Amino acid sequence: MAERYDVVVIGAGPGGYVAAIRAAQLGMKTACIDSRETAGGTCLNIGCIPSKALLQSSEKFAEAKNGLTEHGIKIDGANLDLAAMMARKDKVVTTLTRGVEFLFRKNKVEWIKGSARIAAPGRIGVTANGGASQEIEAKAIVIATGSESIPLPGLAIDEQRIVSSTGALALDRVPERMAVIGGGYIGLELGSVWSRLGSKVTVVEFLDRILPNMDRELGPALQRLLTRSGIAFKLATKVAGGELGNEAVTLQLEPAKGGERETLGADVVLVAIGRRPFANGLGLDEIGVVRDPAGRITVSENFETNMPGIYAIGDVIRGPMLAHKAEEEGIAAVERLAGQQTEIDYDAIPSVVYTWPEVAAVGKTEEELKAAGVEYRTGKFPFSANARARTNADTDGFVKVLADAATDRVLGVHIIGPDAGTMIAEAALAMEFGASAEDIARTCHAHPTLPEALKEAALAVAGRAIHI
Ligand SMILES: Cc1cc2nc3c(=O)[nH]c(=O)nc-3n(C[C@H](O)[C@H](O)[C@H](O)COP(=O)(O)OP(=O)(O)OC[C@H]3O[C@@H](n4cnc5c(N)ncnc54)[C@H](O)[C@@H]3O)c2cc1C
């Protein structure tokens, strides 16, 4: 007889594994299925975690090579041991994926390794990685199958010379020249890693600025700083094709608006033009689960699809493709199943680009406020006027606070600068609580710390910053 569960989650990424653990905490008999050998999905295996491990290591290398002289520290002969750096990254990934397996055991979530296919609402076929198949039953099915990289026609990914983010996380040598196609966060983070390790990196972006989805001031500011660190940019440029030669890959570039072509040679090309929802093999069309034209599974406020008892969360539905967004949705979906009224404030979901300096944002951009006709006031404060940034010798960047002109409620916070990714948590908390700029401005911030720049930007909304 088929094993019967209250909840079966398909996908053990940050959306799926968190949903499964929360469901089990709420007393539901839960299983989580994933076709990977290890838990943690894209994020832990080939995404957030390995990329941040390499960003951290490469940042330390760049600092050891030439970043410490300002502090009066000279290091002669700092050398790269790429194999050791990669081994550390792999160890971090293994530790964290095993951590998820431990949490499954602790919470009595049954982890089933295999590919899932939904036969009908309440019925799932699982083909184990060894080939054996079984059918299981569930009162509720939560689809958390995530996303995959979008390929660029004409440039077949071989993960050696033409790589996706997955290949770029595992190169066995530093390419002399790397072309990064796409100026979003994945291309910029991985381009930063290889640039710091010695590659001559060129980022090619179709639009006229990098980080096109963020506040208009952030992309150009980051571009200036990355250019200073040695990365080259070709904006408003289209990759029209590529040829794999014996030695190098030659990309054909042309202006986005049309015009004369040029070529760009590279030893490795990273294709990072975005990600798309992944639901292959689930059998959604056969059972009639509705998707939008972009392939995202359509869900209600309760994360329920058009088929009763089938839910979806994370990268496979609408909204930003971010691990923490997937986690919140996983929790909300199963808490709602348990009768709780959990809400997610999508305006308070932060996003972070882990370059140096970091870029982080929460809430609305200026462009979005203008388009919506919202009257707002802006407060800005540069890190060059922040005492801690001075002591750290990290003075690039600024904090920008956008507040409603009538109510002073914080509508958006945009930061480029040291530890922006850590600082944005305070802004997200403020927005979650519906804080005004004055609330942040009147909150005592320890001195000397970087978050004082957020306080000063909040003061600047009312024209009363102290240190500028
Ligand atoms: C290089 C890179 C860096 C990133 N960095 C960050 C970052 O710093 N911060 C951040 O917030 N986000 C980051 N992301 C995005 C983040 O990884 C995703 O938003 C997140 O993993 C989405 O979680 P998810 O649970 O929806 O799906 P996923 O993590 O994609 O997990 C889906 C899982 O479902 C499994 N699956 C799919 N189909 C089936 C099936 N039929 N049967 C069984 N199993 C199946 C897959 O094997 C996979 O393990 C990064 C992504 C990449 C590629």
| pLDDT number for residue 67 | 79
| pLDDT number for residue 161 | 96
Residues with CB under 6 A from ligand 1: 10-16, 33-36, 41-43, 47-48, 51, 115-116, 144-147, 165, 186, 278, 281-282, 314-315, 321-324, 326
Q: How far is the CA of 143 from the centre of ligand 1 (A)?
A: 12
Mutate to test the pocket of ligand 1, among 36, 49, 129, 145 (most ligand atoms within 8 A of CB): 145
| pLDDT number for residue 455 | 98
Residue of minimum CA distance from atom 6 in ligand 1: 48
324 is catalytic: no
Q: How far is the CA of 3 from the centre of ligand 1 (A)?
A: 27
| pLDDT number for residue 464 | 97
| pLDDT number for residue 372 | 98
Residue of minimum CA distance from atom 17 in ligand 1: 43
| pLDDT number for residue 33 | 98
Write out pLDDT tens, residues 171-203: 999 999 999 999 999 999 999 999 999 999 999
| pLDDT number for residue 131 | 84
| pLDDT number for residue 149 | 97
| Regions of the chain where pLDDT drops below 50 | none
Which 3-state string (H, E, C) describes the chain?
CCEEEEEEEECCCHHHHHHHHHHHHCCCCEEEEECCCCCCHHHHHHCHHHHHHHHHHHHHHHHHHHHCHHHCCCCCCCCCCHHHHHHHHHHHHHHHHHHHHHHHHHCCCEEEEEEEEEEECCEEEEEECCCCEEEEEEEEEEECCCEEECCECCECCCCCCEECHHHHCCCCCCCCEEEEECCCHHHHHHHHHHHHCCCEEEEECCCCCCCCCCCCCHHHHHHHHHHHCCCEEECCEEEEEEEECCCCEEEEEEECCCCCCEEEEECEEEECCCEEECCCCCCHHHHCCCECCCCCECCCCCCECCCCCEEECHHHCCCCCCHHHHHHHHHHHHHHHCCCCCCCCHHHCCEEECCCCEEEEEECCHHHHHHCCCCEEEEEEEHHHCHHHHHHCCCCCEEEEEEECCCCEEEEEEEEECCHHHHHHHHHHHHHCCCEHHHHHCCCCCCCCCCHHHHHHHHHHCCCCCCC
- pTM value is 0.97
Mutate to test the pocket of ligand 1, among 37, 38, 45, 48 (most ligand atoms within 8 A of CB): 48
Mutate to test the pocket of ligand 1, among 42, 143, 169, 188 (most ligand atoms within 8 A of CB): 42
